[in-house]
């Protein structure tokens, strides 16, 4: 399956992500970030965030729950870019309502031919409906391998 502009707007089923303090702490340890903003309430209260928040890249760990209606060939996919757009701090104990959606499809010429790009935005809303963040993932979708004819 190749990508085309008609895919823009296709969305996953909504799913819920719970921000679990233990999972956040393990994530911070795994990336080697011991910033007290993720663990020390007294310290975090005196920051612009006014409380403990998650590491900026933590949201990547929440995307695996999406049931996405596109059947993509994972062998053709490369991770191209990841971006996190925060509208409000994400805090321990938050429950986020998430939906992943195709927001762009485009082509670029590369050394080995035309490469396709798929942009997926995962909107993450707090329980009151406020948009907390968007996790944007750009996937490079490589050309399908040419079939080798056997004699």
pTM of the predicted protein model:
0.86
Q: Tell me: the pLDDT tens digits for 119-134?
A: 999 999 999 999 999 9
Distance of alpha carbon 45 from alpha carbon 41, whole angstroms: 6
User: Residue 149: which pLDDT band, with cuts at 50, 70 and 90?
Assistant: low
Residue 151: its pLDDT value, please?
Answer: 58
Half-sphere exposure for 91 (CA within 13 Å, toward CB): 13
Residue 102: its pLDDT value, please?
Answer: 96
Distance of alpha carbon 54 from alpha carbon 132, whole angstroms: 12
Residue 54: its pLDDT value, please?
Answer: 95
Q: What is the mean pLDDT of residues 55-64?
A: 86
- For 22-70, give the DSSP string: HHHHHHHHHTT---GGGT-HHHHHTSTT-S----TTGGGGGGGG---S-
Q: Which residues contact 141 (CB under 8 A, 6 or more apart)?
A: 2, 3, 72, 76, 77, 115, 116, 117, 118
Q: What is the mean pLDDT of residues 3-29?
A: 93
Q: Which domains does the chain have, with CATH numbers?
A: 8-19+55-141 (3.10.129.10)
């Amino acid at each position: 399956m190749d990508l085309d502009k008609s895919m823009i707007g296709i969305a996953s089923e909504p799913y819920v992500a719970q921000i679990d303090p233990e999972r956040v702490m393990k994530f911070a340890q795994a990336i080697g970030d011991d910033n007290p903003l993720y663990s020390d309430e007294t310290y975090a209260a005196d920051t612009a965030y006014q409380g403990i928040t998650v590491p900026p890249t933590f949201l990547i760990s929440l995307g695996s729950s999406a049931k996405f209606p596109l059947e993509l060939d994972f062998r053709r996919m490369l991770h191209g870019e990841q971006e996190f757009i925060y509208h409000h701090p994400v805090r321990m104990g938050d429950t986020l309502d998430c939906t992943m959606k195709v927001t762009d499809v485009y082509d670029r010429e590369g050394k080995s031919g035309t490469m396709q790009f798929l942009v997926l935005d995962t909107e993450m809303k707090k329980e009151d409906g406020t948009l907390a963040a968007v996790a944007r993932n750009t996937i490079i979708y490589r050309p399908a391998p040419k079939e080798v004819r056997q004699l």
